[in-house]
Amino acid sequence: MRLLLLGGTGEARALAARLHPDVDVVSSLAGRVPDPALPVGTVRIGGFGGAAGLRTWLRDNDIDVVVDATHPFAATITANAAQACRAEGVPHVVLARPAWPPGAAIVVDSDSDAARVVAERGWERVFLTTGRSGTRAFVDVDAWFLIRAVTAPESSSLPRRHELVLSRGPYRVGDERELLQRWRIDALVTKNSGGDMTRAKLEAADDLGVTVVMVDRPRLPDGVEVVSTVDDAVRWVSARR
């Protein structure tokens, strides 16, 4: 069996390790993060050229099955994979880690909606954890931002008043609580990425009464099969060998 694993997440790396070497896994990374954590097995980096390009790549590389274990907000590649696999008749599953329960968070549909809420509420000091591509919506918001990301956003995408912290999880609740207190944070803005790597900030915010604005996940394409754990993905692949 030859499997294309659309990756870039901890779940994708864990799945590649579980399947290797019994399955010929080709892990594909988008290439947006310098020095990414690499999975075991064959790795390709870069895009496919949309759904049509991915369809051709599947055919040219004799791919038997596809597992999409990309980030929950990687909506474009997820849509392209669903379309390409449907057209080629290639079995395809999305490994989507469970979303965080929103609790008392203000749930919005987009980064732009989150920026509007921040502006309307008039918060002075905001912890922004929407990733390097999520800062652009906040450029014109009159607030001070503590921005945490794995890689630095482009300078043109940064708000005028900010502090940039580059780091990668996992994070601990105590450390997150100390960070929120040290920087006197009024509100936390995050995407509903799910998983344990960055959940601690939500617990810390709840402990301190810091308001959370949470960007909801994009909808998955209609008709796709979904599993929620690496174990489930292993079983799905095994059933097709």
Six token digits for residue 1: 């069996």
* Residue 38, pLDDT score: 87
Predicted confidence (pLDDT) at residue 37 exceeds the cutoff of 90: no
Non-local CB neighbours of 222 within 8 Å, separated by 6+ positions = none
SS3 assignment, position 237? helix
Predicted confidence (pLDDT) at residue 34 exceeds the cutoff of 90: no
SS3 assignment, position 128? strand
For β-strands 144-149 and 125-129, DSSP reports them as parallel
CB 106 within 8 A of CB 212: yes
What is the DSSP code string of 44-85?
Answer: EES--SHHHHHHHHHHHTT--EEEE---TT-HHHHHHHHHHH
Give pLDDT tens digits for 70-91.
999 999 999 999 999 999 999 9
What is the DSSP code string of 70-124?
Answer: --TT-HHHHHHHHHHHHHHT--EEEE-PPPPP-TT-EEESSHHHHHHHHHHHT-S
Predicted confidence (pLDDT) at residue 112 exceeds the cutoff of 90: yes
Six token digits for residue 160: 């005028």
Give pLDDT tens digits for 152-172.
999 999 999 999 999 988 999
Q: What is the model's pTM?
A: 0.90
What residue ranges define each of the domains in the chain, with the CATH number in brackets? 2-98+219-238 (3.40.50.720), 106-215 (3.40.50.720)
Distance between CA atoms of residues 55 and 51, nearest Å: 6
Distance between CA atoms of residues 200 and 99, nearest Å: 14
